[in-house]
């Protein structure tokens, strides 16, 4: 069993209060245990989704994935649930060479949210492929590698390395990290640069679906999404964190060593819903919604505005079994809101 990651330990020690573990949905809905109805049974059997892109597709047994950087490399969470239950696992962002990340302190709690400036600490793609991927149950759960580069060529090289890997189900391209000096969200803030990275990675991704992850720190997220779609993205995911900072009145210093970080957690959910709605209306490829999700109701809200699937992030720090619990709760909560299948429910928001 791998050691629980340093960040995860630190956040558990912080007793992060960005979400509550919540009561089991059976209790929430009816004040007690609830019978599994025939309708719920059908939903449980049909929770699968296919995210079909122009070059490649991602098939999930349910629409719940983990968000990069909040679930380690997956194995750290085996004490909290069965990884095979998940729709998919997106691992911590990988670069060509190992990265130490930013100096400490690099996390700060804020009202209903978390600021982080971890700076993409990771073991490097080579070590991931050699030591970690073979230990993951890739025959039972899709594992997606999240990648970070400082030039389009680096993204292409990473995509090429990963496309050869046995067991990998997809590549998520991070053009949206707000707390690294080079590359990061700069690629995701300009449609031409976003398209250049997408095209470079797509050209080397081979059989794997290419997910491009967008930043909310832009004026027109729909324009960036369209540029990525035109450049060959199979799927769009959004959002990454929002740029922010936190300061300490006593020391009169920033609470993060590198001053600026990325905000995540329940505080960002309204922004994420707005971004997913705008992106889903702008593109015809599938969209994965991310931002502040901590229960099955949140998942339904993202699907209602047009998401095909979602990723659960910061909630896993405050309650490490959150993503497993959401998978269990989803059929009953869907039934409560009269949802009988994803296709008819997706993007069915009634807005004037
Ligand atoms: C500590 C931390 C590390 C993260 N690392 C990455 C990363 O390596 N790559 C990436 O694309 N996103 C990364 N993210 C962003 C999340 O995947 C997600 O997009 C964001 O936190 C919003 O979702 P949430 O509110 O559910 O956490 C990170 C987020 C946090 C909090």
The CA distance from 88 to 65, in Å, is 4
Look at residue 179 in the predicted model and tell me its pLDDT. 65
Residue 177 a catalytic site member: yes
Q: Is the CB of 314 under 6 A from ligand 1?
A: yes
Active-site pick, 177, 228, 238, 275? 177
Look at residue 176 in the predicted model and tell me its pLDDT. 86
Q: Is the CB of 267 under 6 A from ligand 1?
A: no
Give tens-digit pLDDT for 248-271. Answer: 999 999 999 999 999 999 999 999
Average pLDDT, integer, range 216-243: 98
The CA distance from 282 to 245, in Å, is 31
Q: Is the CB of 68 under 6 A from ligand 1?
A: yes
Banded model confidence at residue 352, pLDDT cuts 50, 70, 90: confident
| Cα 266 to ligand 1 centre (Å) | 13
Using the predicted structure, report yes or no on whether residue 208 has a pLDDT greater than 60: yes
Q: Is the CB of 67 under 6 A from ligand 1?
A: yes
| Cα 241 to ligand 1 centre (Å) | 6
Ligand 1 binding pocket mutation candidate from 213, 241, 269 (most atoms within 8 A of CB): 241
Average pLDDT, integer, range 170-179: 88
Banded model confidence at residue 22, pLDDT cuts 50, 70, 90: very low
Using the predicted structure, report yes or no on whether residue 37 has a pLDDT greater than 80: no
Which domains, and CATH codes, for the chain? 6-15+34-345 (3.20.20.70)
| Cα 293 to ligand 1 centre (Å) | 12
Q: Is the CB of 265 under 6 A from ligand 1?
A: yes
| Of the candidates 273, 309, 277, the residue with the CA atom closest to the CA atom of residue 291 | 273
Q: Is the CB of 185 under 6 A from ligand 1?
A: no
Average pLDDT, integer, range 175-192: 81
Average pLDDT of the chain?
Answer: 89
- Residue identifier of the C-alpha nearest atom 11 of ligand 1: 174
Q: Is the CB of 199 under 6 A from ligand 1?
A: no
> Which long-range contacts link 46-52 to residues 24+ away (Cβ below 8 Å)?
46/341, 47/330, 47/331, 47/342, 49/87, 49/308, 49/309, 49/342, 51/209, 51/234, 51/235, 51/286, 51/288, 51/308, 51/309, 52/234, 52/286
The CA distance from 37 to 274, in Å, is 34
- HEC sequence for the chain: CCCCCHHHHHHHHHCCCCCCCCCCHHHHHHCCCCCCCHHHHHHHHCCCEEEECCCCEEEECCCEEECCCCCCCCHHHHHHCCHHHCCEEECCCECCCCECCCCCCCEEEECCEEEECCCCCECCHHHHHHHHHHHCCCCCCCEEEEECCCCHHHHHHHHHHHHCCCCEEEEEEECCCCCCCCCCHHHHCCHHHHHHHHHHHHHHCCCCCEEEEECCCCCCHHHHHHHHHHCCCCEEEECCCEEEECEECCCCEECCCCCEEEEECHHHHHHHHHHHHHHHHHCCCCEEEECCCCCHHHHHHHHHCCCCEEEECCHHHHCCCHHHHHHHHHHHHHHHCCCCCHHHHCCCCCCC
Query: Could you tell me if residue 102 is left (phi over 0), alpha (psi between -120 and 50 degrees) or otherwise beta?
Result: beta
Using the predicted structure, report yes or no on whether residue 29 has a pLDDT greater than 80: no
Look at residue 54 in the predicted model and tell me its pLDDT. 97
Give tens-digit pLDDT for 303-324. Answer: 999 999 999 999 999 999 999 9
Look at residue 18 in the predicted model and tell me its pLDDT. 37
Q: Is the CB of 318 under 6 A from ligand 1?
A: no
- Residue identifier of the C-alpha nearest atom 22 of ligand 1: 291
Give tens-digit pLDDT for 77-110. Answer: 999 999 999 999 999 999 999 999 999 999 999 9
Banded model confidence at residue 33, pLDDT cuts 50, 70, 90: very low
The CA distance from 76 to 88, in Å, is 15
Which residue's structure tokens are 């229960």?
295
Ligand 1 binding pocket mutation candidate from 275, 295, 314 (most atoms within 8 A of CB): 314
Q: Is the CB of 291 under 6 A from ligand 1?
A: yes
Average pLDDT, integer, range 31-60: 75
Residue 198 has, within 13 A of its CA and on its CB side, a CA count of 29
The CA distance from 9 to 306, in Å, is 35
C-alpha gyration radius of the chain: 19
| Cα 41 to ligand 1 centre (Å) | 33
What atom in ligand 1 is closest to the CA of residue 266?
A: 25
Banded model confidence at residue 28, pLDDT cuts 50, 70, 90: very low
| Of the candidates 47, 45, 40, the residue with the CA atom closest to the CA atom of residue 25 | 40
- Residue identifier of the C-alpha nearest atom 3 of ligand 1: 69
Banded model confidence at residue 55, pLDDT cuts 50, 70, 90: very high
Query: What is the reported pTM?
Result: 0.91
Using the predicted structure, report yes or no on whether residue 31 has a pLDDT greater than 90: no
| Cα 333 to ligand 1 centre (Å) | 26
Average pLDDT, integer, range 38-44: 64
Look at residue 186 in the predicted model and tell me its pLDDT. 84
What atom in ligand 1 is closest to the CA of residue 292?
A: 25
The gap between the terminal CA atoms of the chain, to the nearest Å, is 52
């Amino acid at each position: 069993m791998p050691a629980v990651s340093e960040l995860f330990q630190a956040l558990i020690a912080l007793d992060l209060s960005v979400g509550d573990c919540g009561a089991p949905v059976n209790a929430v809905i009816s004040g007690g245990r609830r019978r599994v109805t025939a309708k719920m049974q059908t939903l449980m059997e049909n929770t699968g989704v296919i995210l079909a892109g122009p070059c490649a597709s991602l098939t999930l047994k349910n629409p719940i994935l983990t968000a990069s950087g909040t679930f380690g490399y997956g194995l750290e969470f085996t004490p909290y649930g069965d990884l095979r239950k998940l729709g998919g696992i997106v691992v911590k962002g990988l670069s060509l060479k190992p990265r130490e990340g930013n100096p400490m302190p690099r996390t700060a709690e804020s009202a209903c949210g978390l600021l982080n400036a971890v700076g993409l600490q990771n073991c490097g793609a080579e070590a991931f492929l050699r030591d970690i991927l073979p230990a993951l149950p890739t025959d039972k759960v899709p594992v997606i590698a999240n990648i970070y580069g400082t030039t389009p060529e680096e993204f292409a090289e990473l995509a090429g390395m990963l496309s050869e890997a046995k067991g990998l189900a997809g590549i998520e391209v991070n053009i949206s990290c707000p707390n690294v000096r080079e590359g990061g969200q700069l690629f995701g803030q300009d449609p031409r640069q976003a398209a250049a990275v997408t095209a470079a990675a797509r050209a080397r991704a081979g059989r794997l679906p290419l997910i491009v992850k967008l930043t909310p720190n832009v004026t027109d997220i729909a324009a960036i999404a369209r540029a990525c779609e035109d450049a060959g993205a199979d799927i769009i995911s959004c959002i990454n964190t929002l740029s922010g900072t936190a300061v300490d009145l006593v020391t009169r210093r920033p609470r993060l060593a590198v001053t600026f970080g990325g905000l995540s957690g329940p505080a960002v959910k309204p922004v994420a819903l707005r971004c997913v709605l705008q992106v889903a209306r702008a593109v015809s490829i599938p969209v994965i919604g991310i931002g502040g999700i901590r229960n099955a109701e949140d998942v339904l809200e993202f699907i209602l505005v047009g998401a095909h699937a979602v990723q659960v992030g910061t909630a896993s720090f405050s309650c490490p079994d959150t993503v497993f619990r959401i998978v269990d709760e989803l059929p009953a909560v869907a039934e409560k809101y009269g949802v009988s299948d994803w296709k008819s429910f997706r993007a069915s928001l009634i807005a004037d």
